[in-house]
A = this chain, B = another copy of it.
Amino acid sequence: MTLEEALSSIAAREPVVRAFATLAGNHAEPCAGPLHGMPIAVKDVFDTADLPTAYGSPIWVGHRPRADAAAVALARAAGAVILGKTVTTEFASYTPGATTNPHDSARTPGGSSSGSAAAVAAGMAQAAFGTQTAGSIIRPAAYCGVVGFKPSFGAISRAGMKALAESFDCAGTFGRSVADAARLAAVAAARPELWPWPDGSESPVIGLCRTDWWDSAEPAQQQATEAAARGLEASGLRVVDLPPLGVAWVNERQSQAIAWDTARAFAWECAAYPDLLSPKFQAICARGLALSSEEHALVWQDLHRAQGAVAALFARCDVLVTPSAPGEAPLGLTATGPPTFNRLWSVFGGPCLSVPFGQGASGMPLGVQLVGPKGQDLLVLRLGARLQALIC
């Protein structure tokens, strides 16, 4: 995608999609490098030296960081062109911004990386940075019909990224294709092996993982997930059906652990500007401070147990196929949809990749998610490209 194509899509679609919090007024000549000329968008929780950075909060409106976040600096040095900062929910939490779903402006694009997913879906950027703490990359990618990649926890430096809950915060990427998401992630992680890929002959065993929340998925989402697994099977891979994990409590536990971290990370905002925090955000902080250390230790005991349960799955298979979200993007713009099918993997910390696959009852895009063991990012990306090829 050229810069001109991106700018032309922005002119045509941004008035309705509202993906950007700030658009760059001019674009410097890109550096030479593996991303030379790639037009990208950056979620507004990453600091940028040349654009305001407000973290989706009125408290930070007009803030001008002195430096680029590490991921942004790496992308820029590799030749990416920063189109602008994309809308995030308040501090990458739950209170949505103005972005609409490019496939239906009456529906949420998902969150918290709302603008990044929507910008890529609307052809306004070739790739984009996002972050995921619960389900903030995979869910909006599925809702907007683009690829979302949350790499292994820690793979992309969080320096210069606004912290929400350090125990889980993970930077990642969006792209119209697996290759585009991988290309930006490879640079941001400074792991050149993540893109381009050598040809490979690997035959990973696929685990079809319906999870403990299968019944809450829409029928079309269930069908898409199973169809993805069957498609990979037809392409020559072995697929094993995995039983439910019995960890349904993990969603509530992660929510508590996030509240603990958030209440501490936002001590300055809570002290200096309490009235400029949304009621939802205030409630999260209050919840985090109400937990005792003993309760917090028990929460983590459970989370470690959930991590162990997921790790045990990888004794039986190499990569999981599982829903990216309960179904298509819900109607309405006052919420961003539930991270039901995301929290377990954010807790686990392995790479997650959402690939557009199938359609919901209203014709909206669905996503199917691949999950690998920590460090197996390349395996997941290559399998994702294979899955994507099945539907092209």
Binding site for B on A (CB under 8 A): 49, 60, 63, 66-74, 76-77, 154, 156-160, 162-163, 166-167, 189-191, 193, 261, 263-272, 289, 292-293, 297, 375
CA A72 to CA B267, docked complex, whole Å: 9
CA A67 to CA B269, docked complex, whole Å: 8
CA A178 to CA B33, docked complex, whole Å: 52
Q: Which residues of B contact A71 (CB under 8 A)?
A: 267
Q: Which residues of B contact A272 (CB under 8 A)?
A: 49, 67, 73
Q: Which of B49, B268, B292, B375 contacts A73 (CB 8 A)?
A: B268
B70 with A271: CB separation less than 8 A: no
16 inter-chain pairs at a CB distance below 8 angstroms, sorted by A residue, are A49-B268, A67-B269, A70-B264, A70-B268, A72-B268, A73-B272, A77-B271, A154-B166, A157-B163, A157-B166, A157-B265, A159-B162, A159-B163, A190-B264, A190-B267, A297-B375
A73 with B271: CB separation less than 8 A: yes
Q: Which residues of B contact A157 (CB under 8 A)?
A: 163, 166, 261, 264-265, 267
CA A332 to CA B360, docked complex, whole Å: 70
CA A324 to CA B154, docked complex, whole Å: 29
- Residue in A167, A265, A289 whose Cβ sees the most chain B Cβ within 10 Å: A265
Number of identical monomers bound together in the oligomeric complex? 2
Q: Which of B63, B159, B167 contacts A66 (CB 8 A)?
A: B63
Task: Give the Cβ gap from A334 to chain B, nearest Cβ, in Å.
Answer: 28
Nearest residue, chain B, Cβ from A48: B268
Q: Which of B67, B267, B268, B293 contacts A193 (CB 8 A)?
A: B293
B67 with A268: CB separation less than 8 A: yes
Q: Which residues of B contact A67 (CB under 8 A)?
A: 268-269, 272
Q: Which residues of B contact A72 (CB under 8 A)?
A: 268
Nearest residue, chain B, Cβ from A191: B293
Q: Which residues of B contact A158 (CB under 8 A)?
A: 163, 166
Q: Which residues of B contact A270 (CB under 8 A)?
A: 73
CA A160 to CA B272, docked complex, whole Å: 15
- Residue in A162, A270, A293 whose Cβ sees the most chain B Cβ within 10 Å: A293
Nearest residue, chain B, Cβ from A291: B190
A159 with B265: CB separation less than 8 A: yes
Task: Give the Cβ gap from A95 to chain B, nearest Cβ, in Å.
Answer: 19
CA A375 to CA B297, docked complex, whole Å: 8
Q: Which residues of B contact A193 (CB under 8 A)?
A: 292-293
Q: Which residues of B contact A69 (CB under 8 A)?
A: 268
- Residue in A73, A74, A166, A269 whose Cβ sees the most chain B Cβ within 10 Å: A73
B76 with A263: CB separation less than 8 A: no
